[in-house]
Amino acid sequence: MTASTSHLKRWARTTESVLQRTLTAIGLSQSTARIAADSQAYWTSSHGKRWMANSHWREAPIFDDNDLWIRMGMQHLGMVERSAWAARSGRPWRRVVDWGCGGGANAAAFAPHTGELVGVDISAETVAECGRQVALVCDTPFRGVTVDVAEPETAMVDIGSCDVFLCLYVFELIPTPEYGVRLLHIARDLLTPGGLALIQIKYDDGRWLSRPRRREYRRELAGMTTYRIPAFWQLVERCGLTPVSIELVPRNELDERYAYFVIRKR
């Protein structure tokens, strides 16, 4: 790709992003139900390199010739372990739930340290891939659960309580910021007392283009939902959970404006 072609594509993406957020600002946002339906359709019917990259499959081109896929899981494991050590509630964990497990980068890192790993995702194909990656690293039992975007609470009956709840690179993909309350309630209800959650969001840094998008899901998956950092901290508290720490990553190999919250159930 030439420099001019790359510049043109960036300009087109920026223009599209401004247009969609302008439409939202003047009251033309789409309903949560409409966005949820578009999300369900994308994750269950799409394929190809972009879909695999968005799903964090290990075979995706973004992970070729590097150790990024492995490093992601190990970095997140380290975040939880540090908080568990500080709270004197370390391993072994009876059950770890990976909500939005994707291709298994986090599941493969956490599975050797738990009695059971539950991988939850929209795509049955992706859940199966996650289980395959877990089986390559250890003999920890893996249970896959598929979830419907419109009714995430229905998956809880197939999961059971857990000591660790992971939700990484998911909140930026959900239909709206309000939808995130449902996921926080799910985390609260699944966690055992004193259990830990690691939840990552994409944060709104005050710029126009970092606001929640609220329309046209397929055109900008990872920019659909954002939160101001203080607002998300307060939201966690209102949902009956306790924020323990936050780690900010302005940019890495995947994207930008990441905030990782370690959260404890009271």
User: Is residue 255 a part of any domain in this protein?
Assistant: yes
Distance CA 119, CA 64 (A): 24
Structure-model confidence comparison of residues 85 and 160, the more confident one: 160
User: Is residue 241 a part of any domain in this protein?
Assistant: yes
**Is the pLDDT confidence value at 51 over 90?**
yes
Count of domains observed in the chain: 1
- How much is the average pLDDT of 169-184? 98
User: Is residue 95 a part of any domain in this protein?
Assistant: yes
Helix axes 229-238, 179-190, angle to 10 degrees: 50
Amino acid present at 11:
W
Q: What is the mean pLDDT of the chain?
A: 93
Q: Which DSSP string corresponds to 101-163?
A: -TTSHHHHHHGGGBS-EEEEES-HHHHHHHHHHHHHH----EEEEE--TT-GGGGGGGT--EE
pLDDT tier for residue 10 given thresholds of 50, 70 and 90: confident
Q: Which of 5-9, 27-31, 221-225 is predicted least confidently?
A: 5-9
Q: Looking at residue 12, what is its pLDDT? A: 78
DSSP state of 1: -
User: Is residue 182 a part of any domain in this protein?
Assistant: yes
Number of H helices, E strands in the chain: 8, 7
Tell me whether strands 256-265 and 191-202 are parallel, antiparallel or unpaired: antiparallel
Q: Looking at residue 89, what is its pLDDT? A: 62
Structure-model confidence comparison of residues 80 and 12, the more confident one: 80
Pick from 200, 205, 215: which is nearest to 246 by CA? Answer: 200
CB-based contact 67:75 (threshold 8 Å): no
- Tell whether the torsion through CA atoms of 195, 200, 205 and 211 is positive or negative: negative
Distance CA 213, CA 80 (A): 30
User: Is residue 183 a part of any domain in this protein?
Assistant: yes
**Is the pLDDT confidence value at 91 over 80?**
no
- Owning domain of residue 69: 31-265
Domain of residue 94, CATH code: 3.40.50.150
User: Is residue 246 a part of any domain in this protein?
Assistant: yes
* Token code pair at residue 53: 């990259």
User: Is residue 189 a part of any domain in this protein?
Assistant: yes
**Is the pLDDT confidence value at 181 over 90?**
yes
pLDDT tier for residue 87 given thresholds of 50, 70 and 90: low
pLDDT tier for residue 88 given thresholds of 50, 70 and 90: low
Place of tokens 């150790």: 67
User: Is residue 4 a part of any domain in this protein?
Assistant: no
pLDDT tier for residue 249 given thresholds of 50, 70 and 90: very high
Place of tokens 């307060």: 234
